[in-house]
């Protein structure tokens, strides 16, 4: 059964109607499908069967505790980029021994917490970071497992804001610098060299950039081996694209098959960091049309979701499919700009969408499970939306809607005598 489908003209999320969910939890509201999350993760697990592997879900894609718990129960590891994400994984029941810690500016205190709980590996992104980690590990009398993130200068042919594998990007180090870091790491008693890491970008729809990057990684593995430095796991990152509109990304199975072919029979554990390909199409954003406004130039549908709820269209010019929750035959189909209440011209979720709508219409924004709520904000003092996880015919309130009182709680007025 598809997790999101229309029955008798009404949108359903697994066994529950989207209209009923909106009535119970109000709008705007993020709704996730447990079956879709588990299904995507299982596709990775099944494709990797027979070889040593670790699928580390990228927490930054969707960090809701219920989402993380669903994946942890299915055996997932986690890719984190902050101590906050680490604490989320632990709170959700994730295994710290399956956590890889990425990110370019880890604080010493974050390193210490990760060492304390015993994570799988630190993905290092600079020579300076190696020295700080060694110092922290020495002070704690621990040994830090590491991999070095190489920047292979591979063009992922994606949006420049989500491209990470070019030499002008802030991520990783050159092949030559990585070699020097490994040589230095081999000299340090509190550093344990475990892997080699690479991540070239997000929303990739072709296999060739992945394979190109892997081949460059393997050449460095061979070079290191010739110097007596053994690499035990190859972390190829994430980035597999999903279908939002008319993209034709490779399937998870074909992607993994190509990766396995490229690696061959090398005795390497394969580590992956998928995020979008697990969560994006496992979620929708429900929003309601408050008003319609027609001008000689445009038809505006003024909705209750805004760029603070879903910033991807404004930030990345991302296209997300938007449909009415109820399909109806009466009325006229017009091209609508779906704009929110935030005081910015960039506040839109879609433009020129052919829809049959009127005031009060309930809409669904598809592909909203990744980089939706996690990138939301309180701009214009707007409380962040509720998050709901649907499991068959049950709905679990995974995150309550923020109230104005909660937004103001951490702020303080000036003293009375000032």
Interval 7-35 mean pLDDT: 98
Over pLDDT 70: what percentage of the chain? 96
Using the predicted structure, report yes or no on whether residue 170 has a pLDDT greater than 90. no
Interval 193-209 mean pLDDT: 90
Strand partners, 284: 31, 366
Instruction: Kindly report the pTM of this predicted structure.
Output: 0.94
Owner of token pair 């091209």: 335
Tell me if 14 sits within 8 A of 8, measured CB to CB.
no
Q: Would the annotation count 255 as a binding residue?
A: no
Q: What element of type H or E holds 256?
A: helix 252-263
Using the predicted structure, report yes or no on whether residue 159 has a pLDDT greater than 60. no
pLDDT confidence bin for 165, thresholds 50/70/90: very low
Q: Would the annotation count 195 as a binding residue?
A: no
pLDDT in tens, 243-289: 999 889 999 999 999 999 999 999 999 999 999 999 999 999 999 99
For the domain made up of 4-31+280-408, the CATH class stated in words is mainly beta
Using the predicted structure, report yes or no on whether residue 308 has a pLDDT greater than 60. yes
Interval 187-212 mean pLDDT: 92
pLDDT at 154: 72
CATH code for the structural domain at 103-272 = 3.20.20.10
pLDDT in tens, 106-135: 999 999 999 999 999 999 999 999 999 999
pLDDT at 203: 86
pLDDT in tens, 376-394: 999 999 999 999 999 999 9
Beta strands 334-339 and 322-324, pairing class: unpaired
Q: Would the annotation count 288 as a binding residue?
A: no
Interval 352-376 mean pLDDT: 97
Assigned token pair, 59: 């927490």
Four-point Cα dihedral 309, 35, 233, 113, nearest 10: 50
Using the predicted structure, report yes or no on whether residue 47 has a pLDDT greater than 60. yes
Burial (CB count within 10 angstroms: exposed 0-12, middle 13-18, buried 19+), residue 132 = middle
pLDDT at 201: 83
Residues marked as catalytic: 343
Using the predicted structure, report yes or no on whether residue 79 has a pLDDT greater than 50. yes
Q: Would the annotation count 353 as a binding residue?
A: no
Q: Would the annotation count 312 as a binding residue?
A: yes
Using the predicted structure, report yes or no on whether residue 164 has a pLDDT greater than 50. no
pLDDT confidence bin for 330, thresholds 50/70/90: confident
Q: Would the annotation count 371 as a binding residue?
A: yes
Segments making up each domain of the chain, as ranges: 4-31+280-408, 103-272
Q: Would the annotation count 249 as a binding residue?
A: no
pLDDT at 200: 86
Tell me if 387 sits within 8 A of 373, measured CB to CB.
yes
Who's near 39: CB < 8 A, 6+ residues apart? 3
pLDDT at 162: 41
């Amino acid at each position: 059964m598809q997790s999101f489908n229309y029955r008798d003209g009404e949108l359903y999320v697994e066994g529950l109607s989207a209209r009923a969910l909106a009535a119970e939890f109000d709008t705007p509201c993020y709704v996730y499908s447990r079956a879709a999350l588990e299904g995507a993760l299982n596709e990775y697990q099944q494709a990797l069967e027979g070889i040593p592997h670790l699928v580390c879900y990228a927490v930054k894609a969707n960090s809701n505790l219920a989402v993380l718990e669903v994946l942890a129960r299915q055996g997932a590891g986690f890719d984190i980029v902050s101590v906050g994400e680490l604490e989320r994984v632990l709170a959700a029941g994730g295994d710290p021994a399956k956590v890889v810690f990425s990110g370019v500016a880890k604080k010493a205190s974050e390193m210490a917490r990760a060492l304390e709980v015993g994570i799988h590996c630190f993905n290092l992104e600079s020579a300076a970071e190696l020295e700080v980690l060694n110092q922290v590990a020495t002070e704690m009398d621990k040994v830090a497992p590491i991999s070095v993130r190489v920047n292979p200068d591979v063009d992922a042919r994606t949006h420049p804001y989500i491209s990470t594998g070019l030499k002008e990007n802030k991520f990783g180090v050159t092949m030559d610098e990585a070699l020097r870091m490994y040589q230095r790491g081999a000299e340090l008693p509190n550093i344990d060299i475990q892997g080699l890491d690479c991540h070239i970008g997000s929303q990739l729809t072709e296999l060739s950039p992945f394979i190109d990057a892997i081949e460059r990684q393997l050449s460095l593995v061979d070079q290191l081996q010739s110097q007596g430095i053994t690499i035990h796991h190859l972390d190829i990152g994430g980035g597999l694209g999903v279908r939002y509109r008319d993209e034709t990304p490779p399937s998870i199975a074909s992607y993994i098959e190509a990766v396995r072919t490229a690696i061959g029979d090398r005795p390497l554990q394969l580590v992956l960091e998928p995020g979008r390909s697990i969560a994006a199409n496992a979620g929708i954003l429900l929003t309601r049309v408050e008003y319609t406004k027609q001008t000689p130039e445009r038809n505006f549908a003024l909705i209750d979701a805004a760029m603070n709820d879903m910033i991807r269209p404004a930030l990345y010019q991302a296209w997300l499919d938007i449909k009415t929750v109820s399909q109806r035959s009466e009325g006229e189909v017009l091209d609508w700009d779906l704009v929110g209440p935030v005081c910015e011209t960039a506040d839109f979720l879609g433009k020129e969408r052919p829809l049959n709508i009127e005031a009060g219409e309930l809409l669904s924004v598809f592909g909203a499970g990744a980089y939706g709520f996690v990138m939301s904000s309180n701009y214009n003092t707007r409380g962040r939306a509720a998050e709901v996880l649907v499991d068959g015919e049950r709905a679990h309130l995974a995150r309550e809607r923020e109230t104005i009182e909660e937004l103001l709680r951490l702020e303080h007025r000036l003293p009375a005598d000032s």
